[in-house]
Every structure is written in C-alpha cells, then in structure tokens.
Amino acid sequence: MDETIRERLEEFIRRKGLRWTAQRDGIVRTVFAKDEHFTAEELFDRVRRADSDTSRATVYRTLSLLVEANLLREIDLGNDQTTYDPNFIDKPAHNHLVCIDCSRVVEFEDSHIELLNDCLTRRLGFKPLRQSIKIEANCEQLRLKGRCPNLIASRLTGKRLKKRR
Amino acid sequence: MDETIRERLEEFIRRKGLRWTAQRDGIVRTVFAKDEHFTAEELFDRVRRADSDTSRATVYRTLSLLVEANLLREIDLGNDQTTYDPNFIDKPAHNHLVCIDCSRVVEFEDSHIELLNDCLTRRLGFKPLRQSIKIEANCEQLRLKGRCPNLIASRLTGKRLKKRR
DNA sequence: GTTATTGCAAATGATTTGCACAAGG
DNA sequence: CCTTGTGCAAATCATTTGCAATAAC
C-alpha cells in the first residue's frame, strides 16, 4: 500500500473525528494490496483470509468510508453488485472497457475525453465533477483469429470477470 | 406510441415464437407514452393506473423483453434501482448528465464522443458495441444566481429525480 | 470515561422464480 | 390442444441497520 493512501486516510479520519481501528487497517491494506477491481463480497473473502475476525458489516462500512474519502471509486460494470476500483489515485481520469466476449475489463485513459467532457458540460451550463464512461465491445482478435488472447498487457490493469446471478 | 415501435416489437415477438398479450400491450403502450426515464416500480404504478390488472412480475418480465428487443435501454443513474430510458430509438447515441444539485438528468448527444470511442477501441483492439457516459456535474446557474433554474429546455428530454434510500 | 466501532442477526428492498391456472395461435 | 404468459407469494441476494458489547482516544 502506498504511503500516500494511509496519510490521506489518516487525515480524513482525524478531520471527521473517527477512529483508526485494527479492522479498518486490515481492510484498507487488503483493498490497496492489488490494483484489481473487486466486489464487497470478494473483499470480505480476502480480508477473512488475512485477518479471520472482521465482519461483513465492517467491510461494507469501511468501503463506504473509503469512497467518501475519495480513495476508492464505485464503478458500474453492469452486473448487480457494486464493483470497487482502487486505481483512481494513480489514474484519476481513467475509464473502462468491458469485453463482451471474455468479460475482461480494460482500463484506459484518454485526455480528449476529458476535454470534450469539459466543453460539453460548459456549453450545457454545468461544471463537471466526475465522469464515467463504460464501453462494451467485442474483441477483434477473437473475430480474426480463433481465441481471445486479449491481454494488451501494457494498458491493461483492472481485470475481473463478470459475475452473474 | 410510434408505429415503428409496435412493428419492431411484433417482429421480435414473431421471430422468437412469443405471444402478443393484453398485458404486454398495456405495458409497452405505457412505456412509450412519454419520453421520461422510469424505474420498474414507477412503471408498475403507471400501468396499474391505466390497466388495473397487470402484475408486478409481468412488468419486470416485459421490461426484460423490451431491453432484449433493443427498444428500451437500462441506464445507471447511480441509485439502487435500474432506470429505463425509452429514448434510444430516437437518439441512439445519447448520453446522460446528472446534476448534482437538483438531481435532474439531462440527455445530450455529441458526435465527437462516438468518434473518439471508435478510435480508442480500435486502437485497443476492440469493436465497440455500445457505450455509456455518465457525467455528474454542478449547475453553474445555481452557483452564479441563487436557484437552479436548469431547464435548458431545448436539449432536455429525460428528467427524473434521483431516489435515495 | 465518552463516543465511535464492531459483530451479529434481522431487516430491507429490488428483482426473480416456482407453480398452478389462463389464454394466445 | 399445446405452449407460452400470468399472478401470486415465496425466494434471492446484496446491502443496510438496530443493538448490546468493545475498543479508541
């Protein structure tokens, strides 16, 4: 976990008169241990594995806290559970592409989008605060060759399979 | 309701070996009577008012049908219930701006976005199928003057207040 | 010591589903 | 007729919450 994150969180907790607890520490550590997207339940499992006694409720409550502190972002991947993205600290303006074929999620950044976003909202009379783009797309590789070897390793970061009820 | 919609739906129903029922007729009619966004529950109320005997389950089932038939789109407005948007037939590439101040939803179209979307996905090796942008923004008018007189009548279409738990 | 935090289990609330009956084609 | 559709109520399932016990500061 980046030291910046802990500092920012400590600052947030101090400012709001909250408390730094062992459970919060464990959860935050787990959240930022990897750069992968996750759901609350997935996080709960991971936390449990590392630190047997932390309740599901506390995990949910800490997630809300992190979102409020702007250290974590909720994203909508089209399934029924909220997905959390820990990568907005490093890439504050990134967006997501969901591969329809393999359900992989690819993160991408593009400054043009932000520019456009600004012009557009200003024209409409708004001041943009946050913006999210989700692109659903088919894999070209899959269509041309046989299998979907969609790694695009250089730009890929948050991968996570879609879970359906 | 546009005649095109009924034709498209009849075609879809025929092709899939489904049946045209009174309930479906009532629901579809209600869905496309206005151009406003709605949730399943809101629709259920509206349908009930017009046609007393249609069950909640049938409303949900018909909504899925319409989405599958590509006549209706699910959109994510950040609250916990699915919002449905009946305006994608007229404006196939529109997107949504959510006013943080008054929670109003403004629809907008911008061809640049689509262009960008295409370039981007092609560069990443994908063929874009559908794309959704949600911009959350503050009302400038509100900041400058006092109240949020955000009608922007010309471009505004789907308005609907956010419902919070 | 106060006040915030936690764990538990129960509550919530949107959506889905099993089933027996009804109704399209 | 033969299937698909419907209503009902019960089931799901992620998330939230009330409360008594616990732990920060």
Instruction: Grade residue A149 by pLDDT with cuts at 50, 70 and 90.
Output: low
Residues B76 and B13 in one domain: yes
Of A124, A129, A140, the CB nearest to B126: A140
Of A97, A113, A133, the CB nearest to B126: A97
Residues A77 and A121 in one domain: no
Residue B153: its pLDDT value, please? 36
What pLDDT, in 10s, does the model give residues B108-134?
A: 988 888 888 888 888 888 889 889 999
Q: Does residue B163 have a pLDDT over 70? A: no
Domain-ending residue, one of A73, A90, A107: A90
Q: Which distant-in-sequence residues (6+ apart) come within 8 Å of B140 by Cβ? A: A122, A125, A126, A127
Nearest chain A Cα distance for residue B109, angstroms: 10
Domain-ending residue, one of B90, B121, B150: B90
- Residues in a beta bridge with B84: B38, B74
Residue B149: its pLDDT value, please? 55
Residues A118 and A160 in one domain: yes
Which 3 state secondary structure label does DSSP give B54? coil
Give the distance, in angstroms, between residue A53 CA and nucleotide D22 C1'. Answer: 14
Residues B104 and B156 in one domain: yes
**CB of A157 lies under 7 Å from some atom of strand C:** no
pTM score of the predicted model:
0.88
**CB of B56 lies under 7 Å from some atom of strand C:** yes
Number of domains in chain A: 2
Place of tokens 């041309």: A144
Residues A105 and A121 in one domain: yes
Whether A103 and A148 have beta carbons less than 8 Å apart is answered as no
B100 lies in which domain range?
93-165
What pLDDT, in 10s, does the model give residues A67-81?
A: 999 999 999 998 889
Nearest to A29 by CA among A64, A66, A77: A66
Residues A102 and A71 in one domain: no
Whether A72 and A9 have beta carbons less than 8 Å apart is answered as no
Strand order in the sheet with B73-75: B38-39, B83-85, B73-75
User: Which of the pair, A1 or B103, is modelled with greater confidence?
Assistant: B103
Burial class (CB in 10 A: 0-12, 13-18, 19+), A159: middle
Residue A41: its pLDDT value, please? 96
DSSP string of B102-155, one letter each residue: T--EEEE--HHHHHHHHHHHHHHTEEEEEEEEEEEEEEHHHHHSSS-----TTT
**CB of A138 lies under 7 Å from some atom of strand C:** no
Residues B13 and B84 in one domain: yes
Residue B61: its pLDDT value, please? 98
User: Which of the pair, A63 or B121, is modelled with greater confidence?
Assistant: A63
Residues A75 and A155 in one domain: no
Residue A161: its pLDDT value, please? 36
Of B99, B126, B131, the CB nearest to A138: B126
Domain-ending residue, one of B90, B123, B157: B90
What pLDDT, in 10s, does the model give residues B48-92?
A: 998 778 999 999 999 999 999 999 999 999 888 999 999 999 999
Residue B33: its pLDDT value, please? 95
Give the distance, in angstroms, between residue A155 CA and nucleotide D20 C1'. Answer: 50
Residue A152: its pLDDT value, please? 45
Nearest chain B Cα distance for residue A42, angstroms: 20
User: Which of the pair, A165 or A33, is modelled with greater confidence?
Assistant: A33
Residue A27: its pLDDT value, please? 97
pLDDT-wise least confident of A10-14, A82-86, A148-152, B28-32: A148-152
**CATH code where residue B150 lies:** 3.30.1490.190
What pLDDT, in 10s, does the model give residues B4-53?
A: 899 999 999 999 999 999 999 999 999 999 999 999 999 999 999 987 78
Nearest to A159 by CA among A110, A103, A109, A108: A103
Which 3 state secondary structure label does DSSP give B38? strand
Residues of chain B found within 8 Å of residue A132, distances taken between Cβ atoms? 133-134
Q: Is B113 on the interface with A (CB under 8 A)?
A: yes
Question: What is the C-alpha to C-alpha distance for residues A126 and A119, in angstroms, rounded to an integer?
Answer: 10
Q: What DSSP designation does B80 have?
A: S
Cα–Cα distances (Å) from A78 to A17, A29, A39, B3, B16, in that order, read 36, 27, 13, 31, 25
Q: What DSSP designation does B99 have?
A: E
For CA atoms B146, B109, B91, B124, the dihedral sign is negative
Residues B61 and B126 in one domain: no
Question: What is the C-alpha to C-alpha distance for residues B26 and B85, in angstroms, rounded to an integer?
Answer: 18
Residues B19 and B69 in one domain: yes
**CATH code where residue B80 lies:** 1.10.10.10
Residues A1 and A81 in one domain: yes
Residues A60 and A21 in one domain: yes
Q: Does residue A160 have a pLDDT over 50? A: no
Per residue, the 3-state secondary structure of chain A, as one string, reads: CCHHHHHHHHHHHHHCCCCCCHHHHHHHHHHCCCCCCEEHHHHHHHHHHHCCCCCHHHHHHHHHHHHHCCCCEEECCCCCCCEEEHHHCCCCCCEEEEECCCCCEEEECCHHHHHHHHHHHHHHCEEEEEEEEEEEEEEHHHHHCCCCCCCCCCCCCCCCCCCCC
Residues of chain B found within 8 Å of residue A76, distances taken between Cβ atoms? 76
Question: What is the C-alpha to C-alpha distance for residues A121 and B138, in angstroms, rounded to an integer?
Answer: 9
